[in-house]
């Protein structure tokens, strides 16, 4: 994140979240809580998709921000959108 910020290089991220409601692995919770504040501290515009319908809309908005304005943008897809990991259980 430091290099794109320094060089003002467009960066678009699509992040599937862990460590949220329904998470079966407690080790994922600290990272889940840290993603947004870390991204924001590095100058990334963060958008959160809480429903499947929001994913496309927010990704299009983030892509315009990244490629039209040269910004760093991330769309976080909530764990409830993609479903919790069951690891075959």
Tell me the C-alpha distance between 22 and 6, whole Å.
37
Q: 10 Å Cβ neighbour count for 53?
A: 10
Tell me the C-alpha distance between 26 and 55, whole Å.
26
pLDDT of residue 63: 98
Q: What is the pLDDT along the chain (89 residues), one digit of tens a residue?
A: 888 888 888 999 999 888 777 777 778 888 888 999 999 999 999 999 999 999 999 999 999 999 999 999 999 998 888 876 666 66
DSSP 8-state assignment for residue 21: T
pLDDT of residue 7: 83
* pTM of the predicted structure, to 2 decimals: 0.84
pLDDT of residue 55: 96
Instruction: Give residue for tokens 């809580």.
Output: 33
């Amino acid at each position: 994140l430091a290099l794109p910020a320094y060089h003002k290089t467009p960066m678009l991220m699509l992040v599937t979240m862990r460590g949220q409601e329904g998470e079966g692995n407690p080790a994922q919770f600290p990272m889940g809580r840290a993603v947004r504040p870390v991204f924001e501290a590095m100058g990334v515009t963060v958008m959160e998709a809480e429903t499947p319908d929001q994913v496309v809309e927010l990704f299009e908005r983030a892509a315009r921000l990244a490629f039209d304005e040269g910004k760093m943008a991330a769309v976080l897809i909530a764990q409830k959108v993609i479903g919790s990991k069951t690891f075959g259980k």
